[in-house]
Structure 1
Amino acid sequence: MSTSTTTLTMHRTFNCTAENVFEAWTTPELMKKWFFTMEPTNKVATNDLRVGGSWEIVDHRGGKDYRAIGEYLIIDRPNKLVFTFKMPQFNDLQDEISVEIKDLEKGCEMTFVQGIVVPHEPEWTEEDIEKAMKEFHDQTEQGWGYMFEGLKQLMETGKITYPAL
């Protein structure tokens, strides 16, 4: 299968420490509140926080389980986390995600970068590939936007106001 990769970069600031945000990315009790899932629909939130260790989230929506898994590649607490991401129920493609967090005078800033692997259909033209890359980028950005809004609420108020389920 041929593929292309598009890069998504997002920045967010939080009114808390870098350590707090790092914890939200790596502690199952916090991950299940916002990371590819919501607490009311989460079935699994686990991780083995070490280089080579894995993480897994299973969210149950609309009668289906959605499983996201990955492996930790770099752990530099609380400044940087690099890990793989894939959803095996859709395909075998694997993205790489980097999260860098730095303390500011007030709060912290997170820089999120995802290399999104976009699969190609055999008959696609360059135009089709560009269109698919834009769609994957924009849909991924929208999804993370929702998740980061939840993360911000969690970090700054201790809870997330979920949309009506």
Structure 2
Amino acid sequence: MDRFTETVIEVDPKLPIILTTRDFAATPEQLFRAHTDPELFARWVGPHALATRIEHWDARTGGSWRYVSAQDGTEYGFHGCFHEVRPDRIVQTLTYEGDPDGVTLETLWFEDLGGGRTRLRTQALVDSFEGRDAWLRSGMEIGVNEGYAKLERMLADGAV
């Protein structure tokens, strides 16, 4: 079985979708908790340069969320709705408030690989190819990679 020790980011050539895959030394329950516990989520999401504060967080099917990431006095707001929250999968929307017309439908899967390892797969369906390509040009891979590296350290330190 292939091991994705670094995040693999791919695009679908026929649909405005961004796919990410990464393996973690963690159980599915740990990764699920890291994505649904607001205090944990705020500690690992995004690049090192940004500090995140949770403004609203109701991680349940039908719930909603909002957080703000800040750097040097500049704030970036994000919000969305949890459409489905269950131990093996989360389906949610995501809107970057700097582009309020762009709504992304994101699905996360927590795949148990055995031996205390889990594969996290995400699929982000963006509203257009232009929107997808703007996300890719934004440097999102830096935020994804640095955020997952922080999450890996938290898992290794027993914080999750």
TM over 0.5: yes
| Superposed counterparts of 1:14-163, under 5 Å | 14-36=24-46, 41-77=51-87, 79-106=88-115, 107-118=117-128, 133-134=132-133, 136-137=135-136, 139-158=139-158
- Rg larger for: 1
Contact 2:47 2:144 survives alignment (8 Å): no
Contact (CA 8 Å) 2:54, 2:68: kept in 1 or not? yes
Q: Separation in 2 of the partners of 1:14 and 1:29? A: 20
Structure 2: unaligned runs, 5 residues or longer: 1-13
Normalization by structure 1: what TM-score?
0.74
Relative to 1, partners in 2 of residues 1:54 and 1:35: Cα closer, same or farther, differing over 3 Å? same
Asked if structure 1 preserves the Cα contact closer than 8 Å seen for 2:45 and 2:52, the reply is: no
Give 1 or 2: higher helix fraction.
Answer: 1
| RMSD across aligned positions (CA) | 2.7
Please list the CA deviations of residues 76-124 of structure 1 after superposition, one character each: whole Å capped at 9, or x if unmatched: 21x10010000123332110111100222221111111113348xxxxx
Letter in structure 1 aligned against 2:148: F
Contact kept in structure 1, 2:60 and 2:82, CA below 8 Å: yes
Gaps of 5+ in 1: 120-128, 160-165
